[in-house]
Structure 1
Amino acid sequence: MPKLIRQLNRNTAIAIVVGGVIGSGIFMKPSLMAAQLQSPILLLSVWVVAGIITLFGALSNAEVAAMFPETGGQYVFFQKMYGHSFAFVYGWAAFAVFNTAGNASIAYVFSQYMGYLIDLPRLSNATEQSFTLSIPYIGTFFPLQNIGVKLLTIVVIIVFTAISYRSVQYGGRVQRILTALKAVAIVLLIGGVFFSGKGEASNIVQNTSSMPGGWMMVSAYIAALAGAFWAYDGWNNISFVAGEIKEPQKNIPQSLFMGLSFCIVVYVLVNLAFVYLMPVQQIAASSFIASDAANIAWGSIGGILITLMVMLFVLGTTNANILATSRVTFAMADNSKLFAWAGKVQPQYKTPGNALWLNALWTICLIISGSFDMLTDILIFVSWFFYGMSALGVFLLRKKMKNVNRAYKVWGYPVVPAIFVAFTAFFLIVTLMNDIHHYQNGQTQVIHSVLGILITIVGVPIYYISRKK
């Protein structure tokens, strides 16, 4: 039976980390975060704190990834830590929510920005409203809405799925090219802003009179962190393809540390550029912060340049995610009759071909339904629960497998993984409290964190029905 082979080197691994993290989040989240915090210093601190916490979680995962460098990443880790049933529930949540919905939402951003450059086809409002799907306590979906944007998004998903289907090396090569172009674009953006002479250093320290205090500040800061975590999400893509990385015991920890450190520096500098150009209240009021910053720094052509830059960033993230996330679906075939078909290696190309196309099919369903906007709201809550459990598992494996050789041990053990686990628990509790509060006050029709819990729990009966004996 054909097997996946180790074809990806360290540079490709770093490109997968950077490409999986730096996407649209850095351009979509700062305005909302500025509105929540009303302070440029706090805004900058959120990106630092979120980056360090994310790095702690990544380094904790790196210890386990170096022990079990197998395709499937956290799915494999959870099998070793908590057993097959817990691992399947994780894989189910990844397939149903945060992997496929994440891919859909990121690719959708590319098509949205393409709509700024050219007019994409759209049906009349009456036609868009003529066909709807309503699910109680979840929401109403409009499959025909923004049909041009959705069709282009589907094309993007199919193209990058086809690339990864034909060749792991080709997909990795595309990722290296897109990440290199992304790095050049970032340098040009940051340098262009700071050397434009259009900013004011005083903007960096000027808070607004609306800055919250007390518990409201804690709540606002946690909400802002959630936005930053969404922008940092994607770092664990590297563990999904661990079975295809050369010298994984060395290259996985190095790629995580180097890739995430680069992302932290980039995010802080980009936000520093924003607050240098605009007061925090102007950032908070901006509907497209990157375009507004570019218009101030470079004039009207800046908006077009930023649009092209965001599209480039999103393509790199889409390719990295499609390449990596299908490996979780592939790994689930070991213990599930339901996903057995997805566990077959494409004999000619030595890729997880069926898993790639299964993920693509479900991603396309989410694109057509338009439901991924809601799903991405629950993505961070669900994925961070599993990130916390993964770091907690480091302690369990240190006891269960204390005699197993560890090519890499997490720096600062036990403090680093303990901080990550404690923070994750605090983050999840406060997020759940905030969601319930917003629901009770009519600010949202769905308690997103509770919906995420319910979707995850659905994986339990599915596991017992479909498991292989």
Structure 2
Amino acid sequence: MLVAGNMVGSGIFIVSADMARDVGGAGWLLVLWLLTGLMTILGGLCYAELAGAFPKAGGQYVFLKEAFSPLWGFLYGWSAFTVIQCGSIAAVAVAFTKFLGVLVPFLGAGSEAILLKVPMEVNIPLQLPWMPEPVTIFERQFFTITTGQLIATGIIILLTFINCLGVSQGALVQNVFTVAKLLALTLVIVMGLAVAIDWSVVRANLGGAWVPALDTARVGRTMMLTDMGPHAAFALVAGAAMVGSLFSADAWANVTLTAGEVRNPGRNMPLSLVLGTSMVIALYILCNLAYMAVLPVSGDEALAAQLKEQAEREPARTGSIYRGKARELGISQAQDDRVGTAVMDVASPGWGRVAMACGIMVSTFGCVNGMILVTARLYWAMARDGLFFRVAGTLNARGVPQASLVMQASWSIVLVFSGTYSELLDYVIFASLLFYAITVAGLVVLRIRQPGLERPYRVPGFPLVPIVYFILCLLMMVTLLVARPEYTWPGLILVGLGIPVYFGWKAVRPAGATGS
């Protein structure tokens, strides 16, 4: 339940739109999801061995510390707090408001929900030796506060409070919402593949399955930055488009953070990882097939621009403006990228999109709860080793790391106000891939250094499985560094900043702190 609860959130209902704009053809879109599935399952197999060998609270932090040194464990924890985990919490909370906008446009994310807009000119360029011209890594013309950001903040505060009441309360919320989100996902699959399937759309998608979107702005920009041909640039852009699908399948490793609280973790942790990741990936592939059975992959860009302009002029009529246009807009131009609700709008006009929006809101709510529930255990474990604020290593009267939960919520809220959903995705996924790759390399190191270590589960196909996973992560990171430097380089720099922070922390930590 916890693996599925952490994995299934907002992404599967949103990211296919942006991916479709990048790659164009249905075949390319499906290939990216299949590659994501392969990477996720391979990673799950590797982490299953590590979780069985080190059944302690802390997950990746513990694995890296044991395989390499406390420095590597700290760098992961530092990155998780500043970018990976808190960024994921912020991104999914923001996604909740995207679908709230279906019910009450003023409360959703978007220009119609702006409460405060203050001019601010910030432009930070990045120039690297192979770039013909600099790219902007951070740019803001206005600081805005929207109703969507306030609601996302409220969700984070509410779920943090619930989890402070005790593990059982947080777990109960998680179980209820996990069942609800899996039902929502199943509903899209059934409606798309059995009820609303349009064979003319299917034939059109199959006919253009392998037509790449060679004229996209991102391909042109990549050619400018790398001086490569359009097909090579498309390959880079397609790889970068996997950010969305990888984010949707991310958080599968979060279950390892709670290993210290699981019965028989040596058996149950590997079982949860392998079965949980496989089940969710199968549902994701079916969900995308359902999208393609109802909606054309490439929608009408001119119509999308016209409807968006009209909705901005008359925000109160947004719902009626877009009504009945879902099929023409397709996957790539779905309103606010809400592909899941677009399918339901076609399958059952009227109540369908509303019901689906409610289901996806339940899904995102449960996903935020799952991340809040498990991630605070990471900072608790670090604090116990003297590598995080001492107060984060304390438990309240109910046995919950309350201080750790509050710190996590506070930084997540800051990130809610710092960027958009897509920006948060780009910042998060590169840092995640970096530490997934290093952790899997640690599995190989541990096999060599500690051959006698008790391993209730051993990854099949060793060393091929971890090597293939490591190479795939490496290829994705190189792709992102070239195709999206404005997002990936800041993440890499932030990880690097953790090195002086670590040695500074070691120098000033209290004498009674534990840890090696």
TM-score normalized by structure 1? 0.89
**Which amino acid counterpart does residue 259 of structure 1 have in structure 2?**
G
Work out whether residues 240 and 484 of structure 2, in 8 Å CA contact, stay in contact via their aligned partners in 1.
Answer: no
Residue number in structure 2 paired with 1:267: 284
Partner residue of 2:460 out of 411, 433, 436: 411
After superposing the two structures, state which structure 1 stretch, 228-237 or 122-131, moved more. Answer: 122-131
How far off its partner does 1:113 sit? Answer: 2.1
Work out whether residues 141 and 370 of structure 1, in 8 Å CA contact, stay in contact via their aligned partners in 2.
Answer: no
Residue number in structure 1 paired with 2:96: 110
Instruction: Mark the runs of 5 or more structure 1 residues left unpaired by the alignment.
Output: 1-14, 437-446
Task: Describe the SS at the equivalent of 1:130.
Answer: strand
How far, CA to CA, are the matches of 1:218 and 1:186 in structure 2? Answer: 30
How far off its partner does 1:49 sit? Answer: 1.6
Superposed CA offset, 1:381-410 (max 9, x none):
111000000111011001111111111111
Partner residue of 1:130 out of 118, 128, 132: 118
Superposed CA offset, 1:408-443 (max 9, x none):
11121111111001111111112111124xxxxxxx
Task: Describe the SS at the equivalent of 1:170.
Answer: helix
Change beyond 3 A, Cα 1:112–1:31 = closer
Work out whether residues 77 and 378 of structure 2, in 8 Å CA contact, stay in contact via their aligned partners in 1.
Answer: yes
After superposing the two structures, state which structure 1 stretch, 206-215 or 313-322, moved more. Answer: 206-215
* Counterpart check, 1:301 vs 2:289: no
Residue number in structure 2 paired with 1:173: 172
How far, CA to CA, are the matches of 2:44 and 2:277 in structure 1? Answer: 9
Partner residue of 1:256 out of 266, 269, 273: 273
Residue number in structure 1 paired with 2:490: 451
The 5 A counterparts of 1:2-401 are 15-118=1-104, 119-120=106-107, 128-130=116-118, 132=120, 134=122, 136-137=124-125, 138-140=138-140, 144-146=144-146, 148-200=147-199, 201-207=202-208, 210-212=212-214, 214-282=231-299, 283-287=331-335, 288-336=338-386, 338-346=388-396, 348-370=397-419, 374-401=423-450
Change beyond 3 A, Cα 1:337–1:378 = closer
How far, CA to CA, are the matches of 1:271 and 1:124 in structure 2? Answer: 30
Work out whether residues 40 and 203 of structure 1, in 8 Å CA contact, stay in contact via their aligned partners in 2.
Answer: no
Work out whether residues 91 and 332 of structure 1, in 8 Å CA contact, stay in contact via their aligned partners in 2.
Answer: yes
How far, CA to CA, are the matches of 1:123 and 1:192 in structure 2? Answer: 31
After superposing the two structures, state which structure 1 stretch, 335-344 or 176-185, moved more. Answer: 335-344
| Percent of residue pairs identical | 28
CA RMSD of aligned residues (A): 2.3
Task: Describe the SS at the equivalent of 1:262.
Answer: helix
Work out whether residues 243 and 425 of structure 2, in 8 Å CA contact, stay in contact via their aligned partners in 1.
Answer: no
After superposing the two structures, state which structure 1 stretch, 458-467 or 379-388, moved more. Answer: 458-467
Work out whether residues 188 and 340 of structure 2, in 8 Å CA contact, stay in contact via their aligned partners in 1.
Answer: no
Task: Describe the SS at the equivalent of 1:70.
Answer: coil
Task: Describe the SS at the equivalent of 1:330.
Answer: helix
Work out whether residues 74 and 502 of structure 2, in 8 Å CA contact, stay in contact via their aligned partners in 1.
Answer: yes
Work out whether residues 114 and 145 of structure 2, in 8 Å CA contact, stay in contact via their aligned partners in 1.
Answer: no
How far, CA to CA, are the matches of 1:386 and 1:126 in structure 2? Answer: 36
**Which amino acid counterpart does residue 129 of structure 1 have in structure 2?**
K
Residue number in structure 1 paired with 2:307: none
Superposed CA offset, 1:276-321 (max 9, x none):
1122212222233222211211112222112111101101111101
Residue number in structure 1 paired with 2:327: none
How far off its partner does 1:273 sit? Answer: 0.7
Work out whether residues 98 and 375 of structure 1, in 8 Å CA contact, stay in contact via their aligned partners in 2.
Answer: no
Change beyond 3 A, Cα 1:369–1:279 = closer
Work out whether residues 28 and 212 of structure 2, in 8 Å CA contact, stay in contact via their aligned partners in 1.
Answer: no
Partner residue of 2:482 out of 426, 433, 445: 433
How far off its partner does 1:64 sit? Answer: 1.0
How far, CA to CA, are the matches of 1:32 and 1:231 in structure 2? Answer: 13
How far off its partner does 1:337 sit? Answer: 6.0
**Which amino acid counterpart does residue 405 of structure 1 have in structure 2?**
E
**Which amino acid counterpart does residue 462 of structure 1 have in structure 2?**
V
**Which amino acid counterpart does residue 140 of structure 2 have in structure 1?**
T
How far, CA to CA, are the matches of 2:361 and 2:332 in structure 1? Answer: 23
Residue number in structure 2 paired with 1:12: none
Change beyond 3 A, Cα 1:142–1:154 = farther
How far, CA to CA, are the matches of 2:376 and 2:142 in structure 1? Answer: 27
Work out whether residues 107 and 318 of structure 1, in 8 Å CA contact, stay in contact via their aligned partners in 2.
Answer: yes
How far, CA to CA, are the matches of 1:389 and 1:69 in structure 2? Answer: 19
Task: Describe the SS at the equivalent of 1:350.
Answer: coil
TM-score normalized by structure 2? 0.81
Change beyond 3 A, Cα 1:141–1:326 = farther
How far off its partner does 1:188 sit? Answer: 2.1
**Which amino acid counterpart does residue 374 of structure 1 have in structure 2?**
E
Change beyond 3 A, Cα 1:150–1:383 = same
How far off its partner does 1:326 sit? Answer: 1.2
Residue number in structure 2 paired with 1:5: none
How far, CA to CA, are the matches of 2:161 and 2:496 in structure 1? Answer: 32
Residue number in structure 2 paired with 1:443: none
Change beyond 3 A, Cα 1:340–1:371 = farther
Task: Describe the SS at the equivalent of 2:398.
Answer: coil
Superposed CA offset, 1:106-153 (max 9, x none):
01111232233223399999972336484734333855421x222211
After superposing the two structures, state which structure 1 stretch, 100-109 or 274-283, moved more. Answer: 274-283
How far, CA to CA, are the matches of 1:455 and 1:101 in structure 2? Answer: 13
**Which amino acid counterpart does residue 365 of structure 2 have in structure 1?**
L
Instruction: Mark the runs of 5 or more structure 2 residues left unpaired by the alignment.
Output: 126-137, 215-229, 300-330, 512-516
Change beyond 3 A, Cα 1:360–1:36 = same
